[in-house]
């Protein structure tokens, strides 16, 4: 299930970007395809959802043999040590749905929806796309509908709604993913499921609190994160069981604020945590 979600989601994100960018196609000569600039915001939203949903369904049917079995469900567990990824895949679902909800919301708001409407419709759209992936998996003899995955899709969409509709809270809190390409071992083609190199975290930014006035302190942020290691090696060799789950806290640099005078990061660092930009205390939950 996990590799499927990573690739489908990556393509859904690309689709959302491609469809949401030309909000004013008439400003670029020759790009106002099918009169896009004259479409109502409702028609644009419908086209975006149909495009992303069709892409997810089409790619899954073509690549993962959806339709090869009747509907079935799969109990993947939660965050236990004996689950397939120690729960890291569940946080992956939450973060991915969260990020997609903001892509949708950005498009909706650019087309004229109010901020609260954009947040609500963005959350619903992201749950819809990820829900289609789960439904497709239910008709596969290799995967199955996972209610744990679906619950974390909803949690991620809910977080997306809250942070998009409450910009003052978004100034203070980020939900991020970290990918460290320098960890040794074979890299997976799908980095969305390369869990031996992934971490998920909540960052609380001092810059978002007006009471913090010291310019040095405003460059800092507090991290709480989770990751799992050793699961890929265990899958390859069950006799070598070194599966580990970690919880950590850390102090990091607010790179968005630090780089602002020099680089426009485009908001990417609200969603992505560059490695080696913080110090942390990690707890092995399986000792």
Give residue-wise pLDDT tens across range 96-138. Answer: 999 999 999 999 999 999 999 999 999 999 999 999 888 887 7
Averaged pLDDT for residues 156-175: 97
Spell out a b/e string for 147-171, using b for 16 or more CB atoms within 10 Å of the CB, else e: ebbbebbbbbbbbbbebbbeeeebe
- Contact between 55 and 23 under an 8 Å Cβ cutoff? The reply is no
Distance CA 283, CA 287 (A): 9
Do 179 and 160 have their domain in common? no
Considering the chain, what percentage of its residues have pLDDT values greater than 70?
86
Q: What distance in Å separates the CA atoms of residue 130 and residue 192, rounded to the nearest whole number? A: 14
Q: Same domain for 44 and 131?
A: yes
Query: 273 and 151, same structural domain?
Result: no
Phi-psi region of 140 (alpha: psi -120 to 50; beta: other; left: phi over 0): beta
What's residue 235's pLDDT? 81
Is 206 within 8 Å of 212 (Cβ atoms)?
Answer: yes
Q: Where are the beta strands (DSSP E) in 56-172?
A: none
Whole-angstrom distance, CA of residue 197 vs CA of residue 184:
9
Does residue 280 belong to any structural domain of this protein?
A: yes
In a domain, 32, yes or no: no
Identify the residue whose tokens are 């899958």. Answer: 235
Whether residue 1 is predicted with pLDDT greater than 60 in this model: the reply is no
pTM of the entire structure?
0.86
Residue 188: domain span: 171-287
Total structural domains in the chain?
A: 2
| Nearest Cα to Cα of residue 109 among 163, 165, 38, 153 | 165
How far is it, in rounded angstroms, from Cα 153 to Cα 90? 8
- Does one domain contain both 180 and 206? yes
Regarding whether 121 and 66 lie in a shared domain, the answer is: yes
Q: Do 78 and 1 sit in the same domain of this protein?
A: yes
Query: Do 12 and 74 reside in the same domain of the chain?
Result: yes
Domain annotation covers residue 33: no
- Mean pLDDT, residues 148-164 taken together: 96
The band of 222, judged by pLDDT with boundaries at 50, 70 and 90, is very high
Q: What is the pLDDT of residues 266-285, one digit of tens each?
A: 899 999 999 999 999 999 99
Please provide residue 114's backbone torsions phi and psi, each rounded to the nearest 5 degrees: -65, 160
Angle of CA points 68, 126, 77, to nearest 5°: 60
Is 69 in the same domain as 190?
no
**Residue 69 domain-assigned (yes or no):** yes
């Amino acid at each position: 299930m996990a590799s499927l979600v990573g690739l489908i989601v990556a393509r859904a994100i690309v689709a959302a970007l491609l469809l949401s960018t030309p909000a004013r196609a008439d400003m670029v000569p020759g790009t106002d395809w099918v009169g896009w600039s004259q479409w109502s915001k409702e028609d644009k939203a419908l086209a975006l959802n149909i495009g992303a949903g069709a892409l997810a369904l089409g790619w899954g049917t073509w690549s993962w043999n959806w339709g090869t079995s009747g509907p079935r469900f799969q109990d993947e567990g939660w965050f236990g040590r004996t689950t397939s990824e120690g729960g890291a895949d569940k946080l992956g679902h939450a973060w991915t749905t969260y990020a997609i909800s903001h892509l949708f919301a950005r498009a909706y708001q650019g087309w004229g929806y109010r901020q609260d409407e954009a947040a609500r419709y963005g959350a619903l759209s992201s749950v819809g796309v990820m829900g289609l992936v789960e439904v497709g998996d239910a008709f596969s003899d290799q995967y199955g509908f996972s209610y744990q995955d679906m619950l974390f899709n909803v949690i991620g969409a809910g977080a997306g709604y809250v942070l998009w509709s409450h910009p003052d809270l978004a100034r203070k809190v980020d939900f991020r993913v970290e990918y460290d390409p320098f960890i040794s071992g074979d890299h997976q083609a799908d980095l969305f499921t390369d869990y031996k190199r992934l971490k998920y975290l909540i960052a609380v930014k001092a810059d978002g609190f007006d009471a913090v006035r010291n310019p040095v302190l405003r460059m800092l942020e507090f991290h709480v994160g989770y990751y799992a290691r050793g699961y890929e090696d265990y899958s390859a060799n069950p006799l070598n069981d070194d599966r580990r789950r970690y919880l950590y806290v850390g102090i990091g640099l607010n790179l968005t604020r630090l780089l602002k005078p020099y680089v426009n990061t485009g908001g990417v660092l609200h969603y992505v945590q560059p490695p080696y930009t913080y110090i942390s205390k990690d707890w092995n939950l399986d000792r």
